Amino acid sequence: MKLLAIESSCDETSAAVMVDGVLKSNIISTQLIHTEWGGVVPELASRAHQKSIIPVVTEALQKANINKNELNAIAFTRGPGLLGALLIGTSFAKSLALSLNIPLIEVNHMQAHVLAHFIEDPKPTFPFLCLTVSGGHTQLVWVKSALDMEVIGETQDDAVGEAFDKTAKLIGLPYPGGPLIDKLAKEGNPNRFPFSLGEMPGLNFSFSGIKTAILYFLQKEVKNNPNFIEENKADICASVQKSLIDMLLRKTKKAMKEMNCTQIAIAGGVSANSGLRARLQEMGTELGWEVFIPAFSYCTDNAGMIAMAGHFKAEAGEFCGQEVSPLARYSL
């Protein structure tokens, strides 16, 4: 099975080739245009996808040493994501599949983030718990099988990636701020500014309160000292990052106990965070969990994970027709 996969849900244009479940190429073009706007501008994302999709697909095929006529199916991200951005990938996948007379496989982006764990060893065994943390989602997913997943807890407002990015914006860092906070946090004191907040009942999360708390805290401090942010940047980053990780891990621990589970995986852009990776490893050692952390290239948006999900769907005979349309909202 020679599979081409396409990802275009947000600000990464990506294409991958997978042969019989083995990833042969995974090309990612990150749209830099959004940096100057402090966040992803949907219309600019669509235009950038339009520009990049053919070169990215061409490069993915070349790197895998595959001719397009050899392809057996095309997998693409159907949603969730920005509708205009999804439309580019979907239309491209549909046209190419039509011209090659091969079937399509529609993929749920959030399911694919979880399935990124099956690209390389070590792989978890079913069932396991996955904490999926990205710019748009924060979910605790009970993974019963590759194609059967249940969200057992999720954010009721902002995603944790948004909390990272919005904090970064408040302290003058460009978009996307998550990786920059991670970097600065390494030199800061995580206990300097505690942001303790109440939490949602059960396994759900809320990140809008902490965002406001950080805003008010900074406004107050800057009134007393206009250079406060500049002088304390590393400590602010370390403290915010610690608070966000605490919130994620408290619920993860609770979910692991409730599900009587010993395997925990993390997925999504925020799983690239070095603090989260280290703290989860520590927690795993302490509580006897097996911890699965994907390679950095499979954390943030990439078509390799779409190919992996496409592979599982192809194995299950789950193909779709030309009538399929993208979905901005698409639950697991």
User: In the complex, what is the shortest distance from the CB of residue 277 to Zn ion, in angstroms, rounded to a whole number?
Assistant: 17
Beta strands in 155-231 (DSSP E): none
**Longest C-alpha distance within the chain, in Å?**
67
Instruction: Give φ, ψ of 29 to 5 degrees.
Output: -110, 110
Nearer to ligand KG4, 173 or 218 (CB): 173
User: Which listed option, ligand KG4, Zn ion, none, makes contact with residue 182 (CB within 5 to 8 Å by class)?
Assistant: ligand KG4
Candidates 124, 161, 188, 310: give the one binding ligand KG4 (CB under 6 A): 161
User: Could you tell me how many residues make up the chain?
Assistant: 332
Candidates 7, 106, 182, 235: give the one binding ligand KG4 (CB under 6 A): 182
Q: Does 301 bind ligand KG4 (CB under 6 A)?
A: yes
Tell me, what amino acid is at 183? K
Task: Enumerate binding residues for Zn ion (CB under 5 A).
Answer: 134, 301
Closest residue to ligand KG4: CB criterion? 269
DSSP state of 322: T
Tokens of 255: 């979910």
- Rounded distance between C-alpha atoms, residue 323 and residue 240, angstroms: 45
Candidates 89, 153, 188, 269: give the one binding ligand KG4 (CB under 6 A): 269
Nearer to ligand KG4, 10 or 48 (CB): 10
56 sits in which H/E element: helix 42-64
Q: Does 155 bind ligand KG4 (CB under 6 A)?
A: no
Q: Does 136 bind ligand KG4 (CB under 6 A)?
A: yes
Q: Does 294 bind ligand KG4 (CB under 6 A)?
A: no
User: Which listed option, ligand KG4, Zn ion, none, makes contact with residue 304 (CB within 5 to 8 Å by class)?
Assistant: none
Q: Which range binds ligand KG4 by CB under 6 A, 131-139, 207-215, 248-256, 286-294?
A: 131-139
- Rounded distance between C-alpha atoms, residue 248 and residue 154, angstroms: 10
Contacts of ligand KG4 in 9-48 (CB under 6 A):
10
Q: Does 326 bind ligand KG4 (CB under 6 A)?
A: no
Instruction: Specify whether the CB–CB gap between 233 and 185 falls below 8 A.
Output: no
- Rounded distance between C-alpha atoms, residue 322 and residue 77, angstroms: 14
Among candidate residues 81, 77, 28, 79, the one with its CA nearest the CA of residue 57: 28
- Rounded distance between C-alpha atoms, residue 290 and residue 283, angstroms: 10
Residue ranges binding ligand KG4 (CB under 6 A): 10, 134-136, 161, 164-165, 176-179, 182, 268-270, 272-273, 300-301
